[in-house]
Amino acid sequence: MSTKAMSPAASDDQDLLELPSQPLEMKMGPSHPATHGTVRLLLKLDGETVRHAEVEVGYLHRGFEKECESGLYYQAFPYTDRLNYVSPMINNVGYALACEKLFGVEVPDRCKYLRVIGSEISRMSDHYTCLGACALELGAFSAFLYGVEAREMVWDVMDEMCGARVTANYVRIGGLSGDVGPAFPAIVRDKLEQAGKLQQDFEDLLLSNPIFRERMEGTGKATSDELIALGVTGPLLRAAGVPYDVRRAQPYLVYDRIDFDIPVGEEGDNMDRFLVRVAELKQSRSIIEQCLEQLPGGPVDIDDPKIRLPGKGKVFTRMEELIAQFKLVTEGPLPPVGEVYLAVEGGNGELGFYLVSDGSGKPYKCRARSPSFANTQSLPTMVGGAMLADIIPTFDMINMIGGECDR
C-alpha cells in the first residue's frame, strides 16, 4: 500500500508524485442505504471509476422450489406471492396459468378479465415502487412520497379485490378465491384517478429537475445485443429499443382483446428505463379501464370438482360435493404426467414457470424463471467503466427484487 511510497528511500526520489497505485477493492452492501434489495457488490475502483464489478446474490434464498415440491399444487400460491413481493398477483397468475396449462383447463372470461386487472394493478405497484425508490436514492425524498402515495392507491384496489394489500394469494387453479363486489369498478376508477394525479406530480417533480436528469441521462447504458445475450427482458430490454413483451408476443388471458402500446426507448440509458416505466404505468391504467368496460358477468371459477373447490353452499348440502372438497383438499388436483413452461410478463420482464408432473398431487419440480435474476446479472455490463455514483440509478432501474432473484 502507500506505506512503501512514504519510506525515506522513496522521499529522495525525484518523481515522488508517481505513487504506486492499485485498484481499491470495495464492498457495497449487503445492506446499503442507497440500494433497495439485499445484495452485495464487489467493486474494484480506480479513483471513482468502476473497473470491475461483481454481484453476489443469495441473501434472500428461501428454497422456493423445495417448498413447492413438498406441497400440493394449490399450496404453492402463498409462496409465489413472495417471489416478487411488489407485484404478487402477477406471480399468482403466472403460476395458475402454468398449472392450468398442465391440467388442460381454461377459466371463464370473467376470471380472465379480473386476472388481467390484478396483473396490471400489480405492475403499477411494481413500477411505482421502482420509480419512487429510485427518486429516494437519488436524493429526491418528496418525489418518493408521491410515488409511495400512488402505490397506496393501487394497493387499495388490491385490498378491494382480495382483502390483502401486499401478499394477495388471490388466484386459484381454475379460478379466483372470490368474485369482486358490485362497487368494484367505481372504486378502481376513483383510485386510479387519484393515483394518476399523484403520478403527474411525481413526473413533474423529477423530469424538470436537472440533478435528477444528470444522474439518469446517459448512465448505465447497455446495447440491445448485450442485453439479449444476457437474457434480460422487460422494461430494461424495451428501453434499449427491443419491443419484446410477453403480453403482445404470446398473449395470454385476454391481452389479445385489449388495445395497448408497448413503449420503447432509444438510448438504453437509465432515463429511457425510467420513461418506459412511466409510459407503461399509463398503459396499465388504460388496460384496466378497458377491462372494466368489457368485464362480463358469469362465474369466476370453472365447474370441475376435480380441480376447483365446489362452492360452500353445495358442500354443506350435498354429499358428492362434500366428498369432492375433502379429496381436493387432502390429495389435491391430479394432473397428467408431463411438463410445461408458461411465461407471463412480470413487472420486470418474463416470468416463467416450469412444472414437471409425475401424475401425483405434488409438483415433481416447480421452477420459477425470474426476470430479476437475469436482470441483476447484467449490472456489471452496465456499470463497467462508469462512475461509482452511476451504480445507484442503474441498480435502481434494474429493480432487483430479492425475493424473486434469490427465490
Partner 1 sequence: MDEPERPPAEGAEPAEHPILVRLRAGFGDAVVSTHQFCGDATAIVAREKLLDICRWLRDDPDLRFEMLMDVTAVDYLGRTPRFEVVYHFYSLSKNHRFRLKVPLAENDPKLPSVVSLWSGANWLERETYDLYGIVFDGHPDLRRIYLYEEFEGHPLRKDYPKERRQPLIGPGSPGAPSDGGSGAGS
Q: Which cell goes with 224?
A: 440491445
Residues 157 and 155: their CA atoms lie apart, in Å, by 5
CB 356 within 8 A of CB 363: yes
Q: Is 63 in the site for partner 1 (CB under 8 A)?
A: yes
Q: Is 274 in the site for partner 1 (CB under 8 A)?
A: no
Stretch of 7-15, 75-83, 154-162, 366-374 contacting partner 1, by CB under 8 A:
366-374
Q: Which cell goes with 286?
A: 388504460
Burial category of 288 from C-beta neighbours within 10 Å (exposed 0-12, middle 13-18, buried 19 and up) = buried
Q: Is 51 in the site for partner 1 (CB under 8 A)?
A: no
40 CB neighbour count, 10 Å cutoff = 17
Q: Is 379 in the site for partner 1 (CB under 8 A)?
A: no
Q: Is 216 in the site for partner 1 (CB under 8 A)?
A: no
Among 356, 362, 388, 389, binds partner 1 (CB under 8 A): 356
49 CB neighbour count, 10 Å cutoff = 14
Nearer to partner 1, 64 or 128 (CB): 64
CB 212 within 8 A of CB 141: no
If binding means CB under 8 A, how many residues of this protein chain bind partner 1? 50
CB 155 within 8 A of CB 165: yes
Q: Is 101 in the site for partner 1 (CB under 8 A)?
A: yes
Residue numbers 67-96 binding partner 1 by CB under 8 A: 67, 70
Residues 329 and 224: their CA atoms lie apart, in Å, by 47
CB of 15 to partner 1, least distance (A): 30
Residue numbers 225-244 binding partner 1 by CB under 8 A: 226, 228-233, 242, 244
Residues 215 and 49: their CA atoms lie apart, in Å, by 15
* Contacting residues for 244 by C-beta, under 8 A, at least 6 apart: 233, 237, 238
Residues 301 and 175: their CA atoms lie apart, in Å, by 4
Q: Is 41 in the site for partner 1 (CB under 8 A)?
A: no
Q: Is 320 in the site for partner 1 (CB under 8 A)?
A: no
Stretch of 76-84, 87-95, 194-202, 222-230 contacting partner 1, by CB under 8 A:
222-230
Among 354, 362, 388, 389, binds partner 1 (CB under 8 A): 354
HSE-up (13 A, CA, CB side) for residue 259: 3
CB of 91 to partner 1, least distance (A): 16
Binding site for partner 1 (CB under 8 A): 25, 27, 42, 54, 56-58, 61, 63, 65-67, 70, 101-102, 104, 226, 228-233, 242, 244, 249-250, 327, 331, 334, 336-341, 343, 350, 352, 354, 356, 359, 364-365, 367, 369, 373-374, 377, 406
